[in-house]
Amino acid sequence: MKVVLGVSGGIAAYKACELLRLFTESGHQVRVVPTREALRFVGEPTWAALSGNPVATDVWDDVHEVPHVRIGQTADLVVVAPATADLLAKAAHGLAGDLLTNTLLTARCPVVFAPAMHTEMWQHPATRANVATLRERGSLVIDPAVGRLTGADTGPGRLPDPTEIFRICLRVLRGRSLDLAGQKVVVSAGGTREALDPVRFIGNRSSGLQGYALARTAAARGAEVTLIAANVALPDPAGATVVRVESTAELREAVLAASGHADVVVMAAAVADFRPAARHDAKIKKTDGEPEPIHLTKNPDILAELGERRRAAVPGTSPKVIVGFAAETHDVLANGQAKLARKGCDLLVVNEVGEHLAFGTPDNAATVLVAGGEPIEVPRGPKEDVADAVWDAVAARLS
Ligand SMILES: Cc1cc2nc3c(=O)[nH]c(=O)nc-3n(C[C@H](O)[C@H](O)[C@H](O)COP(=O)(O)O)c2cc1C
């Protein structure tokens, strides 16, 4: 596959070297097209040596090969990483002052932009309008990550991890459409922890891999994703805004806040049903006698609450599609059907869990139960396959 890697003049240009390697090492032909300003950050020899291809920035090199038209016309994918505010503006307005902007105008393949800039630049109405224009025209603009920016600043504007940008590009190259474009989705992932004392907690084995796959695939399908992560040690999926929580109470607060303006809520996190009735302020000490029993109290049922709020038309909580997950160790389908009916959600993803099943493994098998519809079987495969099956069912319901 022929990939054009556009690089514009942001401090994150050095991270595009890693993206380039990921493409070349997986057998892609990559033509790097940096802007003149990008070369101030990473020089031409680096791009030429890493890609094995010539590198040009303006339209006046090798004119006999008409590169200003050919490079875009023959590409299977154009990805611009990092995309500066300036480049986004030029692309949105159809300017064609250099080789990269000419390539963007001549490309008829999918185009992915991975913006990176200071938060103020990203949030400026001019940039917002340019991003909206590019998205309307069918480009995938990946929301930047939140984190440390140049200097001491932090906020949204950071280039997502190159591995995550690469994963999105591979999906686009495989022909996945942007069928969730314009949809606001909330995904919860991981497992909640309920504190016993300042150092101990009651938790579960959820790794967050399934929830992260859901967030990653939704972003790659064009959705605006808020990922509420409970105790997950994985890199942030590209394009998702990540909110970190620990306990069920924190997860509930974050989900209810985010679902106020969401079209879809997917509750993939393993939420503790119970928590210790009392949290000790100091570490519980070992004693000679028998330890004190731990008394438990019920946690709120967030999935049921979302369903109830929607039924009662509580202002600010009306996602069109609510998806629950059920991890079962026995009577998997019967328990799943009962849960779907009880919780008032639209879809329920049921999977069998056990010591070497589902938790912490890269693959999964599941049945997607559909309220008022036929169940969808998803055979064992990567967790991204389960995620895609869920989004297929969500997209069908949204339409
Ligand atoms: C040190 C430094 C870092 C910069 N980082 C960024 C950045 O991350 N994102 C951005 O949009 N602009 C950034 N700029 C500003 C761009 O380099 C400037 O807008 C330039 O004209 C972009 O040119 P290009 O879009 O043709 O590559 C930076 C400038 C400097 C001097």
Mean pLDDT score of the chain, rounded to an integer?
Answer: 93
Tokens describing residue 194: 């309920």
Alpha-helix runs per DSSP H in 174-247: 209-220
Alpha-carbon gap, residue 106 to 83, rounded angstroms: 18
**Active-site residue, from 204, 231, 351, 364:** 204
Cα 225 to middle of ligand 1, angstroms: 26
pLDDT tens track for 164-176: 999 999 999 998 8
Residues with CB under 6 A from ligand 1: 8-12, 35, 37-38, 84-87, 116-117, 121, 150
**pLDDT at residue 354 greater than cutoff 80:** no
Query: What amino acid is encoded at 77 in this protein?
Result: L
pTM metric for this prediction: 0.88
The whole-number pLDDT of residue 356 equals: 57
CA angle 72, 1, 85 (to 5 degrees): 45
Is 204 assigned a catalytic role? yes
Amino acid occupying residue 358: A
Q: CA geometry: angle at 235 spanning 353 and 378, to 5°?
A: 35
- Give the whole-number percent of the chain exceeding pLDDT 90: 77
58-81 pLDDT, tens digit per residue, is 998 888 888 888 999 999 999 999
Q: Which of 126-140, 145-159, 369-383 has the lowest mean pLDDT?
A: 145-159
- Known binding residue 293? Answer is no
- Confirm or deny that 343 is annotated as ligand binding: yes
The mean pLDDT value for 108-126 works out to: 97
* pLDDT for residue 358 is more than 60: no
Instruction: Please give the single-letter amino acid code of residue 137.
Output: R
Q: By the 8 A CB rule, do 43 and 186 touch?
A: no
- Residue 297 · residue 213 · CB < 8 Å: no
Separation of alpha carbons 5 and 221, rounded Å: 20
291 or 357, which is more confident: 291
Best mutation site among 11, 119, 120 for ligand 1, i.e. most ligand atoms within 8 A of its Cβ? 11
Residues 257-312 pLDDT 10s? 999 889 999 999 999 999 999 999 999 888 888 888 899 999 999 999 999 999 88
Domains of the chain: 2-173 (3.40.50.1950), 184-398 (3.40.50.10300)
13-41 pLDDT, tens digit per residue, is 999 999 999 999 999 999 999 999 999 99
- Terminal CA-CA length for the chain: 32
Which of ligand 1's atoms lies nearest the C-alpha of 90? 25
Neighbours of 365 (CB within 10 A): 15
90 labeled binding residue: no
Instruction: Give residue 243 CA to ligand 1 midpoint distance, Å.
Output: 28
Give the distance between the most distant pair of CA atoms in the chain: 88
pLDDT for 218-247, tens place per residue?
A: 999 999 999 999 999 999 999 999 999 999
| pLDDT of 353 higher than 80 | no
Contact 211, 162 (CB under 8 A): no
